[in-house]
Amino acid sequence: MISDRVKLFGLGFVVTAFGFWLAFQFVEPAMPKTLRLATGSQSGAYYEYGQRYAELLAENGIKVELVVTQGSVANMNLLADPNSGIDAAFIQGGTANTKIEGLESLGSLYYEPLWVFTRATKKVTGLESLAGQRVAVGPEDSGTRALAIRLLHETGVEPANLTLLPLDASAAHAELKAGQIDAAMVLDSVHSNAVREMAADPNLTLMSFDRAEAYELRNRYLTGLRLPQGTISIRRNLPPRDVTLVAPAATLVVREDLHPGLVSLLLQAAEEIHGEGDVFEKAGEFPSPQMVEFPLNDQADHRYKNGPPLLQRYLPFWAVLLADRLKVMLVPLLTLLLPLGKFLPPVYRWRIRSRITRRYRDLVALEIAASQADAAQRPQLLERLDEIEQGVRAMRVPLDFADALYNLRGHVGVVRDGIGRLGGEG
pLDDT in tens, 146-200: 999 999 999 999 989 999 999 988 899 999 999 999 999 999 889 888 899 999 9
Task: Evaluate if residue 135 carries a pLDDT over 70.
Answer: yes
- Taking each continuous run of H as one helix and of E as one strand, the counts in the chain are 13, 12
pLDDT tier for residue 404 given thresholds of 50, 70 and 90? confident
Q: What number is the average pLDDT over the span 18-45?
A: 76
Domain ranges of the chain: 4-9+326-425, 31-109+250-308, 114-247
pLDDT at 250 over 70: yes
pLDDT at 257 over 50: yes
At 178, which amino acid appears? A
- DSSP strand pairing (114-119 vs 103-111): unpaired
Q: Which residues contact 418 (CB under 8 A, 6 or more apart)?
A: 367, 370, 371
Under 8 Å between Cβ of 70 and 141? yes
Q: What is the pLDDT of residue 13?
A: 60
Rg (CA), the chain: 41
Mean pLDDT of 209-236: 94
Q: Which residue has the higher pLDDT, 5 or 108?
A: 108
pLDDT of residue 106: 97
Single-letter code of the amino acid located at 267: L
Q: Residue 43's pLDDT is what?
A: 82
Rounded CA-CA distance 230/181 in Å is 27
Residue 329 has pLDDT above 90, yes or no: no
- The whole-angstrom separation of Cα 56 and Cα 49 is 11
Percent of the chain's residues with pLDDT above 70: 83
Mean pLDDT of 364-370: 80
Please give the model's pTM, rounded to 2 decimal places.
0.70
pLDDT of residue 222: 95
Quote the pLDDT of residue 158.
92
Average pLDDT, the chain: 85
- Please give the average per-residue pLDDT across 278-284, as a whole number: 92
- CATH for 31-109+250-308 is 3.40.190.10
pLDDT over 80 at 21, yes or no:
no
pLDDT band at 1 (very low <50, low <70, confident <90, very high): very low
User: Residue 89 is inside which H or E element, if any?
Assistant: strand 88-92
Q: Are 5 and 352 in contact (CB under 8 A)?
A: no
pLDDT of the residue at 7: 56
- How much is the pLDDT for 186? 94
What pLDDT sits at residue 54? 97
What pLDDT does 126 receive?
Answer: 92
Q: Are 111 and 277 in contact (CB under 8 A)?
A: no
Topology alike, domains 31-109+250-308 and 114-247: yes
Q: Would you call 395 helix, strand, or coil by DSSP? A: coil
Average pLDDT over residues 2-9: 54
Is the model's pLDDT at 380 over the cut of 60? Answer: yes
Higher pLDDT, 420 or 230: 230
Q: Provide the pLDDT confidence category of residue 19 given band limits of 50, 70 and 90.
A: low
| pLDDT of 28 higher than 70 | no
Q: What is the pLDDT of residue 376?
A: 77
Average pLDDT (255-270) is: 93
Share of the chain above pLDDT 90, in %: 53
Tell me what pLDDT residue 44 has. Answer: 85
CATH of 114-247, one of 3.20.20.70, 3.90.226.10, 3.40.190.10, 3.40.50.10540: 3.40.190.10
For residues 275-300, give the mean pLDDT: 94
- Compute the average pLDDT of residues 373-395: 80
249 contacts 291 by C-beta, under 8 angstroms: yes
Contacts of 373 (CB under 8 A, 6+ apart): 381, 422
Residue 426's pLDDT is 39
